[in-house]
Amino acid sequence: MATFTNLTRANEIGANSYALDLGDARLVLDAGMHPKLDGQASLPNLEMLDATPVDALFLTHAHHDHSGAVPLLMERHPDARVFLTEPTYYLADRLLHNSVNVMKSQREELGIPEYPFYTHPQVAALTRRWQACRLGDRWTLDGHPSRLPDPVTFTLHSAGHILGSAAVEIDHRGRRILYTGDINFADQTLLRGAELPTSGIDTLIIETTRGVQPNPEGYSRQDVRNRLLQALNQVHDAGGSSLLPIFAMGKTQELLALLHEARQRGEIPHDTFFIGGLGRSFTEIYDRLADAPDRLARKPSLTEDIRPQVLDWRTLRDFRPKRNHLYLLPSGMMTTRTTSNRFASSFLNREENGVFFVGYCDPESPAGRLRATPRGGKLQLNPDEPETPVRARVEHFDFTSHATREVILDYILRLGPRQCFLVHGDAPALAWFQTELSRSAPAMKVVIPPPGQPVDL
């Protein structure tokens, strides 16, 4: 009997992690940390795996909600092999070391005694056990190219979400299971869209991030790009400067490339782009892996052709944004103590300035609360701080790296799996997919897997 278990503690985008018990092998798909919770509550239900050893862990991409708990799972299962792509290897390694630093400071500032969950030497030792696998090849669970009919083999497919992101196809005695991780089918500026199997999948495990967001009429990435450039120009013409709070991994590199292209064509006047220190580290990895198969082109070199400067809040006092400079600072949700949060009031307090979001903002994050504050209002960015007047123009531009719900639904219907597990979405998003699938494909077994309960495959 084969089962699927949702190790996430709730049906939401949290500490993503799923177990596949195939009888012949026990596999885990991702092991993330919850972006909004702290301490033990931020972890997936890893204790559920203690009774039997895990044979292999697949890490689909480096984002923290998929990778943050990988060291903890590896400590509990010292014989488990870990499979990922080469870009994910470098990006997740850098991210986990950053995560150690974040947890160390949270231990002090928030008084969370169990932090850090892992240390720099632990991360260094554990990542040596990771095995990078080429996209499209078939592998055995021993980490060898598969030529004989092994009971369990796997293949990684490009997922188009961030550099190195991959969907995992598992072949078990003739049954094919596909776990998408986070997916995006459309080309971005740097990245090629996903290339997933189009037939022959029996069980599909798929993300539903955008299940509550209908695609706006006439939405196109080109249109979003043009509207952002127009906003940047209007701010510049009014003598102001623009802040783009942005995720350090993935979105920073995409927007650097997009804005560089616009700057070269004379569509925006800015002479210098600023990014944060962590954004710089991930940007260097994007450059080192310019030949990765999911990159659309080697060029531009993000560091050499674009030459972004690094803005470090520790070395700057009395910061005043400059009109000809463009600031792409992490984090995207303006989380407390991040660079965009520390600099936000320098932009918000003048009406000629702009604060432009380019990715997802949780409504409860400082970014989400800023978006909900009317211009002319006031906002408390952080507890224990005075309110900041919101005089600047604040807007959102949807440069998503997730497929829209319509595109994902279309993919599921064309693929036509016997069984479909809906994951990585909040309750209304999961419900939208379930309703649409029951209407359009009544024979398909659609499951919203309850946390901690094995479901038969």
Residues engaged in binding Zn ion (CB under 5 A): 63, 65, 182
The pair of three-digit structure tokens given for residue 9, joined into one six-digit string: 């503690």
Q: Between 102 and 238, whose beta carbon lies closer to Zn ion?
A: 102
What is the closest distance, in whole angstroms, from the C-beta atom of residue 235 to Zn ion in the complex?
30
What is the closest distance, in whole angstroms, from the C-beta atom of residue 430 to Zn ion in the complex?
14
Q: Which residue is nearest to Zn ion (CB)?
A: 63
Q: Between 65 and 169, whose beta carbon lies closer to Zn ion?
A: 65
Longest dimension (CA), the chain: 68
Q: Between 55 and 182, whose beta carbon lies closer to Zn ion?
A: 182
Q: Between 95 and 177, whose beta carbon lies closer to Zn ion?
A: 95
* Alpha helices, DSSP H, located in 137-250: 221-237
What is the closest distance, in whole angstroms, from the C-beta atom of residue 260 to Zn ion in the complex?
23
Name which of 28, 153, 4 is nearest 457 in CA terms.
4
What is the closest distance, in whole angstroms, from the C-beta atom of residue 62 to Zn ion in the complex?
8
Q: Between 247 and 432, whose beta carbon lies closer to Zn ion?
A: 247
* Alpha helices, DSSP H, located in 175-312: 221-237, 251-264, 277-288
Whole-number Cα distances in Å, 173 to 25, 176, 177, 382: 12, 8, 11, 54
Distance in angstroms (rounded) separating the CA atoms of residues 321 and 365: 24
What is the closest distance, in whole angstroms, from the C-beta atom of residue 162 to Zn ion in the complex?
6
Sign for the CA dihedral angle at 90, 92, 94, 96 comes to negative
Q: Between 71 and 332, whose beta carbon lies closer to Zn ion?
A: 332
Whole-number Cα distances in Å, 294 to 35, 159, 170, 301, 393: 26, 9, 21, 16, 36
Query: Do you know the residue count of the chain?
Result: 457
- Residue 149 burial class via C-beta count within 10 angstroms: exposed 0-12, middle 13-18, buried 19 and up: exposed
Distance in angstroms (rounded) separating the CA atoms of residues 41 and 99: 16
What is the closest distance, in whole angstroms, from the C-beta atom of residue 66 to Zn ion in the complex?
6
What is the closest distance, in whole angstroms, from the C-beta atom of residue 402 to Zn ion in the complex?
8
What is the closest distance, in whole angstroms, from the C-beta atom of residue 425 to Zn ion in the complex?
10
Name which of 399, 277, 396 is nearest 342 in CA terms.
277
For 92-122, give the DSSP string: HHHHHHHHHHHHHHHHHHH--TT--SS-HHH
Q: Between 63 and 280, whose beta carbon lies closer to Zn ion?
A: 63
Q: Between 19 and 33, whose beta carbon lies closer to Zn ion?
A: 33
What is the closest distance, in whole angstroms, from the C-beta atom of residue 3 to Zn ion in the complex?
23
The pair of three-digit structure tokens given for residue 224, joined into one six-digit string: 């979003």
Q: Between 63 and 393, whose beta carbon lies closer to Zn ion?
A: 63
The pair of three-digit structure tokens given for residue 305, joined into one six-digit string: 């052709």
Beta strands in 333-416 (DSSP E): 354-357, 378-379, 388-389, 393-396
Q: Between 251 and 260, whose beta carbon lies closer to Zn ion?
A: 251
Q: Between 164 and 321, whose beta carbon lies closer to Zn ion?
A: 164
* DSSP H or E run through 420: strand 419-423
> Rg for the chain (alpha carbons), in Å?
22
What is the closest distance, in whole angstroms, from the C-beta atom of residue 60 to Zn ion in the complex?
8
The pair of three-digit structure tokens given for residue 125, joined into one six-digit string: 């030792």
What is the closest distance, in whole angstroms, from the C-beta atom of residue 181 to Zn ion in the complex?
7
